[in-house]
Amino acid sequence: MKTREVADVAEEGARAARKRRTRERIAAAAMELFAEHGFHAVPVSEVARAAGVTEKTVFNHFATKEDLVYGHDTRFEAALVAAVQDRGDRSVLAAVRDHLLARYAVMPTDPAARARHRTLAALVADSETLRAREQAVLARYADRLAAVIAADRRCAPGDLRPRIVADALVSVHRAAIDAFRRGALSGRSPDEYGPEVVRVAEQAFALLAHGLDDFAAGPLDP
């Protein structure tokens, strides 16, 4: 590689690093303000001021105010898709189950990360706007999973199975999110409620794998 090309690559890497640091600074300032005042009470202009950037810069990094809260969801989506694409000889269900259970089993140990988890849970619980955004994010996960599953299994157009499977898998994640939020808002330590999140997900995956037909067809307990 020529000297000029090396310099260009280095400069591109430096620019990417600066953008990443700016994005992280904006997100951190936003969460701090939201934690203190609530999501709806803080305008984007105040986030920009706290982060030391312009309001335009905030929107260059985050398309909407809600993205300041859900700024990392694309990473989760990419990892979820990769779990299906790189699953080897495992079934789609097994691959997603193993991937998600491994993530749920890791609870934050750093006090700052734990505080952020509590803040996020409280913000979403108190905001209909953020709950609606959460549902839109989950729907996007399901859309992406359905497309990946359909391509992977070479399904014909109109085949309902990829959509049904994707919706069912994302419903497990939704149940885990609900369990996590209940635990975070209970005031207990993640060490206490973390195993409950894993247990909820395990039960949901078991229902999909083995018991859905029996449960749906059988009588309800009184």
Q: Which pLDDT tens digit goes with each residue over 10-62?
A: 667 788 899 999 999 999 999 999 999 999 999 999 999 999 999 999 999 99
Q: What single string gives the DSSP state of each residue in 17-81?
A: HHHHHHHHHHHHHHHHHHHHH-TTTS-HHHHHHHHTS-HHHHHHH-SSSGGGTSTTHHHHHHHHH
Say if residue 94 is in the same domain as residue 158.
yes
Enter the pTM of the model: 0.85
Evaluate whether residue 221 is within a structural domain: no
Residue 38 lies in a domain: yes
CATH of the domain at 26: 1.10.10.60
Residue % of the chain over a pLDDT of 90: 77
- pLDDT mean over 172-188: 95
DSSP annotation of 154 reads T
Range of the structural domain that residue 127 is part of: 73-212
3-state secondary structure of 187: coil
pLDDT score recorded for residue 151: 93
d(CA 86, CA 73): 20
Q: How many domains does the structure of the chain reveal?
A: 2
Reply yes or no on whether the pLDDT at 88 is more than 70.
yes
Show which of 19, 51, 68 is a domain's final residue. Answer: 68
